[in-house]
Amino acid sequence: MLKINNIKKLEIGCGERPTPGFLHQDIIEQQGVSLDFICMPYEIKDKGFDLIIAIGVMEHLTFLEFEKTIENFLEIMNFEGEFLFDVPDLKKWCEYYIDSCNGGGI
């Protein structure tokens, strides 16, 4: 597990409730929230992150956007960095998977 002190942390899709101690990213400006990145998560070019979190975010991306995001995170994270996320809308992801297996657009 990573040390808690002195690590470079990024929160993807922070919305209106950014997690203290992280750099914050979202695709839109939020009233009262200071964002470090206003872009899609696969467009972040900063490097050296030890921890990236995405809470309730990844299920909103298409498979292609998800794939591009993961590829980008591999580029911007340190070798032993961690990416933590949840997928609360598993039904949506199952539908994406079924559609992609049946030749549907991604």
Question: Could you tell me the residue range of the domain that residue 69 belongs to?
Answer: 9-101
The secondary structure of 15-39 as a DSSP string is: TTSPPTTSEEEESS--TT---SEES
* pLDDT single digits (tens) 31-56: 989 999 999 999 999 999 999 999 98
pLDDT value at residue 2 = 44
Please report whether residue 55 resides in a domain.
yes
The secondary structure of the chain as a DSSP string is: ---STT--EEEES-TTSPPTTSEEEESS--TT---SEES-GGG-----EEEEEESS-GGGS-HHHHHHHHHHHHHHEEEEEEEEE--S-HHHHHHHHHHHHTT---
* pLDDT single digits (tens) 70-105: 999 999 999 999 999 987 777 877 887 788 788 765
Tell me what the mean pLDDT of segment 58-71 comes to.
89
pLDDT value at residue 94 = 80
The structure tokens listed for 77 are 């994270």
Please report whether residue 28 resides in a domain.
yes
Q: What is the CATH number of the domain that holds 23?
A: 3.40.50.150
Please report whether residue 25 resides in a domain.
yes
Global model pTM greater than 0.75: yes
Please report whether residue 1 resides in a domain.
no
How many structural domains are present in the chain?
1
